[in-house]
Chain A
């Protein structure tokens, strides 16, 4: 139920608060973006047809490095 799928906003219509989200592998679908502040190119989490949060691309890219750093602190 609380499943949310990450995707990239490739088209945005501010008047209808609707976006086309690319989920990769050719899957594209409309999503309502009224719950978030977004711009074209943002990555969002989509749940039940609504974007519920903007994903932080920088945080995502740094996640593995962060994990390694935390583990090394744990070993001390």
Chain B
């Protein structure tokens, strides 16, 4: 179809970034951006120009908390049919993963879309189907779209959806790292548009560019951030104009807010981030697995579900260390035997680093 991989133009952009003679640190929050950066060697090219780019909490599977993993494991062990996206099944909990308990006989289904889980519930009324709904603003409208169709009562959702702008604010408020700019996720932005990022540039004086996923998209995104810094402005710019409209996808936004309401939630490696999660509104609470199976889930508390021993996924997600700085990286923690979720998910920075870097 369409790709942005023109080498001469890439060289031109790189040379302009190099000419700026900067030392800057940017963060993006999207596994697909990380994949493009590392797969094409852009991270190394940009580092030579004085620009470091790290992945923040931009992988829905990675930021899902240990408690949420234990919730879904518990429901599967109690005989529910659990359906979720592929990467989620391999994230280790305290003693096992969904994939491991499936091998032991639990009913765990990997689905491409929430619609596959709905079809399963419609066709097999004897099953209690629980869909583990992970994902940011890109994915939450798909969950909403199914729930407004009034699915059968043997279908419920363990809602783990999260919102990106509150996480960006949390990173800045925590102040653990200095950031000169954000590269914002293109596909989240197709839904939310440009406006929800504006308060970050206004309140924290941080430049932001929404970027697409081709190599030239990211190079242009970096160059646009460098240009803002040189010009002394901090605003939200949109590089991904072919897919992101300023207003976003209004229909999806309306559906999302009709079905969900924002709530305070934890993210892996983070304290509670205000209004960064989504829970089902009253009319849809009958599909809320946490409410439906409240008695079964009440044995779990935040306190008794700890991070895996030695795992530094939290530090990686907060941008404090790179994947390679984790002592477990490539040793105890590999894609075959992951300790933490950043090594499991194809969007996790550890997995991507392991896949493309020289061992």
Mark out the residues of chain A between 24 and 59 whose CB falls within 8 Å of any chain B CB in the assembled complex.
24, 32, 34-37, 43, 45, 47-50, 52-53, 55-56, 59
Q: How far is the CA of A8 from the CA of B32 in the complex (A)?
A: 21
CB-CB < 8 A to B224: which residues of A?
70
Mark out the residues of chain B between 207 and 256 whose CB falls within 8 Å of any chain A CB in the assembled complex.
216, 220, 223-224, 227, 241-245, 249, 251-252, 255
Q: How far is the CA of A15 from the CA of B95 in the complex (A)?
A: 46
Q: Which of B9, B13, B113, B251 contacts A48 (CB 8 A)?
A: B113
B295 contacts A by Cβ under 8 Å? no
Report the tally of A-B residue pairs with Cβ distances under 8 A.
124
Binding site secondary structure of chain A: mixed
B122 contacts A by Cβ under 8 Å? no
Q: Is there an interface contact between B249 and A53, defined as CB atoms closer than 8 Å?
A: yes
Question: Size of chain B's interface in residues, with CB distance under 8 A?
Answer: 50
Q: Is there an interface contact between A35 and B113, defined as CB atoms closer than 8 Å?
A: no
Select from chain B the residue with minimum beta-carbon distance to A34. B145
Q: Which of B12, B113, B114, B243 contacts A45 (CB 8 A)?
A: B243
Closest chain-B Cβ to A3's Cβ sits at a distance in Å of 6
Mark each residue of chain B from 127 to 166: 1 if its CB lies under 8 Å from any CB of chain A, else 0.
Answer: 0000000111011011001000000000000000000000
A-B contact pairs, 6 of them (CB 8 A): A1-B31, A1-B347, A43-B1, A47-B138, A67-B216, A70-B224
Interface residues of chain B, those whose CB is within 8 Å of chain A, are: 1-2, 4, 6, 9, 12-13, 16, 30-32, 59-61, 85, 87, 112-116, 134-136, 138-139, 141-142, 145, 185, 187-188, 190-191, 216, 220, 223-224, 227, 241-245, 249, 251-252, 255, 345, 347
